[in-house]
Amino acid sequence: MRRAPVLVLASASPRRRELLGRLGVTFDVDPAGIPEALPAQDSRAERVARRLARAKALAVAARYPALPVLAADTVVVRSGRLLSKPADEAEAWSMLRELRGRRHRVITAVAVARGRRIWVGHAVTWVQMREYSDHEIAASIARGDPFDKAGAYAIQDERFHPVAEYRGCYCNVVGLPLGTVIDLLRRAGIAVCPSPELLPPECAYCPLLASVRSRRGLDTGS
């Protein structure tokens, strides 16, 4: 029998659902369904992402007075320009060509709302893209891969493999920085102590999880 949920995930993203499930918590899913319009230019990208994550959490929290609600928002920042999800093929082409061979930031803000309280945090990862070809861009677009992803790509895409290297939290680029999530859930009163074997292998090198581990610890399996 399924355990009673301890929180609600305010996101339709299958990647966020999969990552949150790796923390060993039981949750329901109820997407916020609010617009994610971004300003074309903003030097305070972190503030934009935090505002959107907060708005999503509060929108869903109104429907769940007894459960905490977790929401997130991811933006890609290249030369001061904010990139969200491409609206069409032309925008996907533009984003992937702009990012090709260059470095950018990925920012994911996370918000946890519980009753009248809300906790918000964010993570930043630097990503260096490889010199992929126009043919590879076309193949990715033909598969429909870019259209639900900030910046039009997925770091975990094994067919496109657009990323050369990154510095920071891998899961942040996927869409949910687990170290930030664990910290916020603990602040909201939800005990989270995932087993390392349940986490993506990249988490073994994550600076965010190392920080959480040093403060309160992850389950060591011993």
In the chain, the N- to C-terminal Cα span, in Å, equals 27
Of the candidates 28, 73, 134, 148, the residue annotated as catalytic is: 73
Query: What is each CA distance from 93 to 35, 129, 141, 151, in whole angstroms?
Result: 22, 15, 8, 10
Reply yes or no on whether the pLDDT at 53 is more than 80: yes
User: What's residue 210's pLDDT?
Assistant: 80
47: left (phi over 0), alpha (psi -120 to 50) or beta: alpha
Cα–Cα nearest to 185, from 120, 108, 107, 106: 120
The per-residue pLDDT of the chain, averaged, comes to 91
pLDDT > 90 in the chain, percent:
76
Helices (H), 41-177: 45-61, 89-99, 134-142, 170-174
User: What's residue 211's pLDDT?
Assistant: 74
User: What's residue 222's pLDDT?
Assistant: 29
Reply yes or no on whether the pLDDT at 220 is more than 50: no
Reply yes or no on whether the pLDDT at 215 is more than 90: no
If you average pLDDT over residues 48-66, what whole number do you get? Answer: 95
Reply yes or no on whether the pLDDT at 35 is more than 90: no
Reply yes or no on whether the pLDDT at 43 is more than 70: no
User: What's residue 2's pLDDT?
Assistant: 61
User: What's residue 55's pLDDT?
Assistant: 95
Is 134 annotated as catalytic?
no
Confidence of residue 84 (pLDDT cuts 50, 70, 90): confident
The CB density around residue 145, as the number of other CB atoms within 10 Å, is: 18
- Which residues are paired to 111 by β-bridges? 71, 120
Spatial neighbors of 148 by CB under 8 A, at least 6 apart, are 13, 85
Please name each of the domains of the chain with its CATH number.
Answer: 7-215 (3.90.950.10)
If you average pLDDT over residues 140-162, what whole number do you get? Answer: 96
In degrees, to the nearest 5, what angle opens at C-alpha 78 toward C-alphas 74 and 82? 45
Confidence of residue 214 (pLDDT cuts 50, 70, 90): low
CA distance 126 to 120: 21
